[in-house]
Structure 1
Amino acid sequence: MSYSAEYVSTGARVGLRPFRHADGPEFTARVRESRELHRPWLSPPATLEEYEPYAAQRAGCGFLVCELESGGIAGFVNVNNIVRGAFQCGALGYGAFAHAAGRGLFGEGFDLVLAQAFAVDGLGLHRLEANIQPGNTASVGLVRGRGFRREGFSPEFLYVDGAWRDHERWAMTVPS
């Protein structure tokens, strides 16, 4: 497998790049390896048939967090439901893969996505939201530690892992 890629942004240990067709086998294998970590918080595509439309829908607003040393995929961050005009907002969807969890790689990649989302020459957004299930302490810690504020609670907000699940609404606006 070739790990050469043009990164949108790089940090000390990770780089961000768009989803590619060729990433399907590695991405779906990492999803299957990470089932215990992800459930019931999220259910990313675990088969190539699910991956293809998922990756295509994220063109321009989905990022793979990749280890610079190996090129391997450590996780993903998507900026979904972008609304332009007076709102300039997007909703984050993300997940680290089990082999990278606890190593700080995903946090570094998440910071790169935030910079990309708010940059005028990036997505140029003013606001980002993250909707998180109340028991997902790792995800709450990730956004809280980066300056997101809890803005509310949404009962039965998203259909995840076979059920309508409650979510806390966290948000931040462009850092000044």
Structure 2
Amino acid sequence: MSNLYLIHGDRVAIRPVCANDYDEITALTRDSAELHHPWVPRRDTSREAFDDFIARFAQPTHEGLVVCFRQTGAIVGGVNINNIVRGSMQSGMLGYVAYASTAGRGYMSEGLRLVVQFAFTELGLHRLEANIQPTNAASLNLVKRLGFRREGYSPVFQRINGVWRDHERWALTADMLSAGPHEWTA
């Protein structure tokens, strides 16, 4: 199992999402519908939609990862780095979901630390940005724990389930990690 992992911590590891994850992710998504509402758009759970989702990560502008239990490989969360811009920007937009069966136990904190390390080292990014609805306290607390700083407020930023929703804009840069006291050891 460990040879599939890009990087691992004490309890969790990250690896690329793949077509074989369809059944597990579909079940986790269905079981987490209440947890994800209203923060995450309802997903088409068909095999075709999942295959399209996987195909997106073949592009250099997107990375799709899953956070797994290190020992068993069971998926506990998903993380995407979207809209990667190279050149003078070296940035990406972070999206993530925890799943109801394992939420609230710190797995996503550990997993996102690993993703940040991977993004700033292996991908060579300088900046990650997360856009979060202002009433999504769990997600806001997560990025705060990871050292992201609030940079702004974007009214009617993203359409989720037919409604344009406001978002707070949070960011973390590679130099913020080296400058600040954070627990970045996994």
TM-score by length of 1: 0.92
Q: CA deviation at 1:150?
A: 0.6
Q: Which runs of 5+ in 2 are unaligned?
A: 179-186
CA separation in 1, counterparts of 2:108 and 2:138? Answer: 12
Q: What residue in structure 2 maps to residue 34 of structure 1?
A: 32
**AA at the equivalent of 1:18:** P
User: How many residue pairs were aligned?
Assistant: 172
CA separation in 2, counterparts of 1:100 and 1:5? Answer: 24
Residues 40-67 of structure 1 deviation map (CA, whole Å, 9 limit, x = unaligned): 1013553323211112212461110011
User: Could you say what the CA RMSD is over the residues aligned between the two structures, in angstroms?
Assistant: 1.5
**Pairing of 1:38-57 with structure 2 (within 5 A):** 38-43=36-41, 44-57=43-56
Identity %: 52
Query: What is the aligned counterpart of 1:81 among 80, 83, 102?
Result: 83
Q: What residue in structure 2 maps to residue 123 of structure 1?
A: 123
CA separation in 2, counterparts of 1:130 and 1:62? Answer: 15
CA separation in 1, counterparts of 2:140 and 2:90? Answer: 23
Task: Find the residue that maps to 1:98 and give its secondary structure.
Answer: coil
Q: 8 Å contact 1:133–1:168 — kept in the other structure?
A: yes
Q: CA deviation at 1:78?
A: 0.7
Q: What residue in structure 1 maps to residue 15 of structure 2?
A: 17
CA separation in 2, counterparts of 1:34 and 1:102? Answer: 13
CA separation in 2, counterparts of 1:4 and 1:145? Answer: 27
Change (3 A) 1:159 1:6: same
Residues 68-115 of structure 1 deviation map (CA, whole Å, 9 limit, x = unaligned): 222111001111000011111100000000011011111111110000
**Pairing of 1:51-130 with structure 2 (within 5 A):** 51-59=50-58, 61-119=63-121, 122-130=122-130
Residues 11-34 of structure 1 deviation map (CA, whole Å, 9 limit, x = unaligned): 111111111111011101100000
Moved beyond 4 Å, runs of 4+:
none
Q: Which runs of 5+ in 1 are unaligned?
A: none
TM-score by length of 2: 0.87
Q: What residue in structure 1 maps to residue 141 of structure 2?
A: 141
Q: CA deviation at 1:5?
A: 5.8
